[in-house]
Structure 1
């Protein structure tokens, strides 16, 4: 996986949320949580697996809504942050955080109702293998996001410490088909890429976000979207 050593550093884990979801990044956090909740629907009583759970932003969110959830990540430092976040939210008993490899998930077939990954596939060097494993352990839904190769993200991709794999729609359709899944829903957003929002104050980000959503609310704008959310069914 791209940037694996960088990602696992203690200092990166400690600063991860503050660096990415402060200032205008708060808009990104809200939109991503909305996307996850919309895709997964009611989760009370469901068994859910989050791949690359990081600091547990979504893991705790879904546990608060009644899911029994496993958060898997390669970074023990990130998992430590997730455990603390779950403890503060009072949902630690609904979450199991484990260190593991997404290419070899330590679970039997059809073990979870839903499996999802956010901010993962842009780092994946073998995306087909990862998606096939997600499909194997899910008995209902697989949800993930991608960064897109027709977007403004191309212009600053070189500046990211880990780089990013950018996908076309055709790429995603092939991945989903080869994993034995059927594409059920999709959503496309953020004409202005994430890195732009993270560099501006929250008060400035709000009106720019209004412009962003207006541009994106048409076929041309959707083709320029930086990020896409994909819901697939087993």
Structure 2
């Protein structure tokens, strides 16, 4: 997988949230958490798997809301940060972190009510294999995000340390079809790319976010949004 060595470095894990979700990045964090909660609905008592859970931003959030959740990631240092977060929030006894390969999930078929992955598919070299595994272990919901090929993301994609796989809508449709999943909801957001917000303070970024949201509601907003959140279900 792209950037695997970079992603598993201890210094990267320690600075991951500070670099991405402080200042203007807080607006990104808030929107991503909103997207996950919207997709999964009420989570209390639900069995949920998070793929590529990283530092546990979503894993801990859902545990606080009563989910029975497992966070899986290939990076030991990232998982270590996730465990520290869970302990600080007092949910370390109600969730589980596992190190493992998302391409070979160590769970039986139809094991979870929902499976989701955020900030994962832009790094996946074989997205069909990963979506297939997510679908295999889910009884109902599969949710993920993508960075989009017709967006401003493409302008600075070359400068990222790992690069990104950018997707068109037809790419996502083919991905879902390959896994026999039915799309039930899609949301598109952030005309200004994530990297733009991360370079600004929270106060400075707020007016840009307001403009971003207003433009996004226009007729062309969905077409050039830099990120999409996809929710699919396992057919009955």
TM-score (norm 1): 0.99
- Structure 1: gaps spanning 5 or more residues: none
Counterpart of 1:210 in structure 2 is: 210
Q: 1:26-175 maps to which residues of 2 (within 5 A)?
A: 26-175=26-175
Q: Which residue of 2 aligns with 1:18?
A: 18
Deviation at 1:133, TM superposition (A): 0.2
Cα distance in 1 for partners of 2:97, 2:222 equals: 35
- Tell me how far apart the structure 1 counterparts of residues 56 and 79 of structure 2 sit (CA, whole Å): 7
Distance 1:78 1:188 in 2: 28
Alignment-derived partner of residue 187 in structure 1: 187
Q: Which runs of 4+ in 1 moved over 3 A?
A: none
TM-aligned CA deviation for residue 93 of structure 1: 1.4
Following the alignment from structure 1 to structure 2, what is the Cα–Cα distance between the partners of residues 2 and 219? Answer: 34
| More divergent stretch after superposition (211-220 vs 186-195) | 211-220
Query: What's the Cα RMSD here?
Result: 0.5
The alpha-carbon deviation at position 219 of structure 1 amounts to 2.5
Q: Distance in 2 between matches of 1:160 and 1:41?
A: 33
Distance in structure 1 (CA, Å) of the matches to 2:4 and 2:219? 36
SS in 1 for 2:14: helix
User: How many residue pairs are counted as aligned between the two chains?
Assistant: 234
Taking the aligned partners of 1:67 and 1:23, their CA distance within structure 2 comes to: 29
Shift of 1:164: 0.3
Question: How far is the alpha carbon of 1:159 from its aligned partner?
Answer: 0.6
Partner residue, 1:7: 7
Instruction: Give structure 2 stretches of 5+ with no counterpart.
Output: none
Q: TM (normalized to structure 2)?
A: 0.99
Residues 143-165 of structure 1 show CA distances to partners (whole Å, capped at 9, x for unaligned) of 00000000000000001001000
Counterpart-to-counterpart distance in 2, 1:88 and 1:129: 35
Partner of 2:222: 222
- How much has 1:29 moved relative to structure 2? 0.2
Can you list the C-alpha shifts for 1:196-228, whole angstroms capped at 9, x where unaligned? 000011111000000000110022011010000
